[in-house]
Amino acid sequence: MSSPRPSPTPDDNAVAAGLGALRPLQLLSAAIGMGALMLSATRILVDLPVNPEPVPPSWMAVGIVLASVVAATGVIVVFGYSVPSLPMGLPRENAARTSLHYFGSTTVLRSAVAEMPVLVAFAVSFLVTPHSWLPLLVALPVSAALFWWHAWPSPRTAAAVEKGLEAEGAESFLSETLGFRAE
């Protein structure tokens, strides 16, 4: 016979909740990121039979797309990790739950903003003459890099959010709760 399992402690429950929160965040983030890929593929596949040889985009179109890349990067760096610091003396379970909330909301924000250059390139491909889908090929790899570096829930993004949460000395338990670091 096996010995009975010890009952879970509140800390075990918080860790289980965090691990349960990581997977949905990753799936939501991936769904947002897939939107950029699907939009680009649709635009290219619809236009390709009509124009088998793509028209080079104008310098203005490329400039607008590059400006959107710079803007998206700036917004992510300035606002994407901004969270209020946790108050001192917050119980561990409340700190972990609050940290998960802020991590989730900032992850969605960073995911959406990382997709912005593709959305701009999509609009530019129709609005700026000559109409070309090639600006999407400029925006898509950059958006993918922004997404991978800033939006995908990872130990690095958790540490960046954790830094803001712990700015006044309170402990957030975010990385531990997400299972990124041993307790």
The single residue listed with the structure tokens 């593709």 is: 118
Instruction: Judge whether 117 and 68 are in contact, CB under 8 Å.
Output: yes
Q: What is the pLDDT of residues 90-147, one digit of tens each?
A: 999 999 999 999 999 999 999 999 999 999 999 999 999 999 999 999 999 999 999 9
The single residue listed with the structure tokens 């700190």 is: 95
DSSP annotation of 52 reads: S
The residue type found at 54 is P
Q: How far apart are CA 90 and CA 86, in angstroms?
A: 8
The SS3 of residue 132 is: coil
How far out from the chain centre does Cα 173 lie?
20
The contacts of residue 80 (CB under 8 Å, 6+ apart) are 106, 109, 110, 113, 150
pLDDT of 84 higher than 60? yes
- Residue closest to 152 by CA, chosen among 67, 65, 35, 31: 31
Q: Model pTM?
A: 0.83
Q: What is the pLDDT of residues 17-32, one digit of tens each?
A: 555 778 888 898 999 9
CB atoms within 10 A of CB 67: 12
Q: How far apart are CA 159 and CA 69, in angstroms?
A: 24
pLDDT (0 to 100) of residue 70? 97
